[in-house]
Amino acid sequence: MVSRYTITKALAKHLEALANIELAASTLFDGYLPDSIPLDNTPQQKFQSAHLEGRLWIALLGDTPVGFALVEMLAEDLPHLEEIDVIPAHGQRGLGTALVQAVLEWVAEAGYQQITLTTFRNIPWNMPFYAKLGFVEIPSNELKPELITVVNEEACRGLPRELRVVMRYSVKVV
């Protein structure tokens, strides 16, 4: 079903739609997260920076954005999949997988050895989705300081540490 969609680097004209995609995608977590966790949208400045630096991918249906993947650089050699969202009406069509695959291709082409992410341990589809794509859990005693900072910042935003997992995808050397 992905053939009706296009995965590409985001253009400036796509940035305005990203907050609405985030909001729509957040409904998938209803009932899984405490109500006390605020809905905090990614600041437009973060999207703009990622766009300008080539770290933002978009899923399009025609010219309409329906999903995105955002990579943050935690260090010069540590890309981090900060966020991936797809509007639920366009879910279950392989768009999330296609977005992650585009990011993984970029990681390999850019010469990085790995990419990390944090996700929910308690939501049935989150951790298994990434595991299916080759991500593995990083034991807490092996976390780099940059990843500890990410986990701490998430906890400050109300995401309990026990519900979060840090994962890594290692680029296969050919």
- What parts of the chain have a pLDDT lower than 70? 1-2, 34, 36-39, 174
Instruction: Look at residue 159 in the predicted model and tell me its pLDDT.
Output: 84
Domain borders along the chain are 2-170
Nearest to 95 by CA among 41, 172, 21: 21
**pTM for the full model?**
0.93
Instruction: Look at residue 39 in the predicted model and tell me its pLDDT.
Output: 66
Instruction: Look at residue 36 in the predicted model and tell me its pLDDT.
Output: 62
CATH number of 2-170: 3.40.630.30
Instruction: Look at residue 37 in the predicted model and tell me its pLDDT.
Output: 66
Sequence-distant (6+) residues with CB within 8 A of 4 are: 61
Instruction: Look at residue 112 in the predicted model and tell me its pLDDT.
Output: 97
